[in-house]
Amino acid sequence: MSQPVTLGGRPMMPPPGVPVEELLIARFHGHARRLFWSALVLIGVFGATAYFYDNLPDGFENWMLLAAAGVLILMAVVVPYLTWRSRSYTITNRRVIVREGIGSRRRREVSHARGYTIAVHRGLLQRMWGAGTITLSNGVDAPLRLVNVPSVNLVHETLADQIEVSQILAHRDAQSGLGTPPPAGPPLAP
């Protein structure tokens, strides 16, 4: 369970009508396995640069070697790292938020209280690394994809728990006649 529980095993819930504070449950990036080749390129470039420095054939100078190494590191290491780092996933007790983009940021979110279906897809390599792709679909908006999620089974279980708790709270507040649940709070800091 991702919620604190009482002795009876039921999640602790606030009294009816009391606004629930938005709590951060998890914030993560996609699985870092896609940076494996970048790490190998980085090691190889440093090794080759150290070996060939001051050992270049005639017609080549050390600055040419360093410039080529710099361009290769920029294109094969820095750009993939920034691309991986630019997408983040946040799970709170109210919603799931996906932020992506390097220069301009794009943000999409899905509320737990509205409910959604959770589909998990795991390829062969994803199963080997314990990762997977989660698709959240509420039937109205375009599906929200969480790509290469590490520990996908734990994230799936957490999302299912949050849907259940959010819908119980929304139903209880609606039945008690104390009004609708409070709207989502201000956006969380990136």
What residues does each domain of the chain span? Answer: 33-84, 92-176
- Given a cut of 50, whether residue 124 has pLDDT beyond it is yes
Residue 79: pLDDT over 60: yes
pLDDT recorded at residue 1: 42
Residues 106-110: what's their mean pLDDT?
A: 94
Ranking 12-16, 61-65, 170-174 by mean pLDDT, the lowest is 12-16
For tokens 């709270």, the residue is 169
Question: H/E element holding 173?
Answer: helix 152-176
The backbone torsions φ and ψ at residue 114, rounded to the nearest 5 degrees and listed phi first, read -70, -25
In this prediction the pTM is: 0.76
Mean pLDDT of the chain, nearest integer? 87
